[in-house]
């Protein structure tokens, strides 16, 4: 039994490194790619109209309202995919135990990173609090950034710590999220940051508040420029502002 476990582990490790099945549909692949060609074609690529700053999909080319009202601290952000369908499922799996997906993430990201961020000489990741990292067992943003550093030859900077838990941000807008995150990140090696062009790597960009807050800390530590790349980003559904709120329906009369 022990031997079988040992063998299974070996096989799993071999599959992680060499890969013979598609990480999305499980079909056999023959070229060592992490994702098969049909799945690659079907992925929701973020390659149509995007906001030139936050990189999120917009209906018409141009700066989105959020970036007009509250620009991000990163010079620009880009993402390879939209946060939907198989791409959203990949992110979820990556965050809930399927650690090995960092290779898949890197493979899907490299073309955009090489095209958009040749000026960056270092990459970094979003730190987690020690407690949160212990709970998950790993920091997915770090795993992803490490792989990007290895593939691009850029230096990996592990210079930021997260000082406090910031809670769920799901229902907050960019401004509220930024308020919620204020002062959450601390740079503990300012020397390593000074005058560098740094690319923050993460899995998903929603409003961009998290990368913006980390960028703010890096800039205060005298980084030259800060950029962000995420595998996916949420489509900006209201790039020109939220539609006016509908009036709440009148309450039915109370009948005694
Ligand atoms: Zn597939
Ligand atoms: Zn924008």
In a domain, 243, yes or no: no
> Does residue 224 have a pLDDT over 80?
yes
- pLDDT tens, residue by residue, 150-195: 999 999 999 999 998 887 777 788 888 888 888 899 999 999 999 9
- Summarize the confidence of residues 57-66 as an average pLDDT: 90
58 or 239, higher pLDDT: 58
**CA 155, chain centre distance (Å):** 19
29 Cα: distance to centroid of ligand 1 (angstroms): 8
* Cα–Cα distance, 181 to 177 (Å, whole number): 6
Q: Which residues place a Cβ less than 5 A from the ion ligand 2?
A: 51, 53-54, 64, 67
- pLDDT tens, residue by residue, 200-222: 999 999 999 999 999 999 999 99
Which ligand has the minimum distance to the alpha carbon of residue 24? 1
pLDDT of residue 247: 47
Which ligand has the minimum distance to the alpha carbon of residue 66? 2
pLDDT of residue 236: 75
161 Cα: distance to centroid of ligand 1 (angstroms): 37
- Domain extent for 161: 44-233
The pair of structure tokens assigned to 24 is: 């999305």
Q: Are residues 9 and 64 in the same domain?
A: no
74 Cα: distance to centroid of ligand 2 (angstroms): 11
38 Cα: distance to centroid of ligand 1 (angstroms): 6
Q: Are residues 90 and 191 in the same domain?
A: yes
In a domain, 19, yes or no: yes
33 Cα: distance to centroid of ligand 1 (angstroms): 10
> Does residue 32 have a pLDDT over 80?
yes
Total domain count, the chain: 2
Nearest CA to 193 out of 150, 161, 225 is that of 225
Q: Are residues 109 and 91 in the same domain?
A: yes
133 Cα: distance to centroid of ligand 1 (angstroms): 30
Phi, psi of 86, deg, nearest 5: -60, -30
* Cα–Cα distance, 76 to 109 (Å, whole number): 16
* Cα–Cα distance, 121 to 76 (Å, whole number): 15
53 Cα: distance to centroid of ligand 2 (angstroms): 5
Q: Are residues 12 and 83 in the same domain?
A: no
Q: Are residues 126 and 4 in the same domain?
A: no
- pLDDT tens, residue by residue, 85-139: 999 999 999 999 999 999 999 999 999 999 999 999 999 999 999 999 999 999 9
> Does residue 248 have a pLDDT over 90?
no
Which ligand has the minimum distance to the alpha carbon of residue 74? 2
* Cα–Cα distance, 192 to 244 (Å, whole number): 47
CATH number at residue 216: 3.40.50.2020
Q: Are residues 161 and 83 in the same domain?
A: yes
Q: Are residues 21 and 131 in the same domain?
A: no
Q: Are residues 56 and 70 in the same domain?
A: yes
> Does residue 240 have a pLDDT over 80?
no
């Amino acid at each position: 039994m022990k031997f079988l476990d040992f063998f299974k582990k070996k096989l799993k490790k071999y599959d992680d490194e060499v890969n013979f099945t598609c990480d999305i549909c499980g079909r056999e692949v023959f070229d060592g790619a992490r994702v098969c060609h049909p799945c690659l074609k079907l992925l929701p690529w973020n390659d149509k109209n995007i906001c030139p700053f936050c990189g999120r999909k917009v209906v018409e080319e141009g700066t989105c309202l959020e970036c007009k009202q509250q620009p991000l601290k990163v010079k620009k952000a880009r993402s390879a995919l939209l946060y939907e369908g198989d791409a959203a499922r990949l992110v979820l799996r990556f965050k809930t135990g399927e650690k090995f997906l960092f290779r898949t993430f890197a493979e899907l990201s490299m073309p955009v990173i090489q095209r958009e961020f040749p000026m960056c000489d270092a990459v970094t990741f979003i730190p987690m609090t020690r407690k949160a990292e212990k709970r998950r067992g790993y920091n997915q943003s770090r795993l992803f950034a490490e792989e990007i550093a290895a593939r691009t030859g850029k230096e990996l900077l592990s210079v930021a710590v997260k000082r406090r838990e910031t809670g769920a941000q799901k229902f907050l807008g960019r401004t509220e999220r930024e308020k919620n995150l204020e002062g959450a990140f601390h740079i503990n090696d300012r020397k390593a940051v000074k005058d560098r062009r740094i690319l923050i790597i993460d899995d998903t960009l929603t409003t961009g508040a998290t990368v913006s807050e980390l960028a703010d800390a890096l800039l205060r530590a005298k980084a030259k420029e800060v950029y962000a790349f995420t595998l996916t980003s949420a489509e900006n559904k209201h790039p020109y502002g939220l539609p006016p709120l509908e009036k709440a329906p009148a309450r039915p009369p109370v009948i005694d």
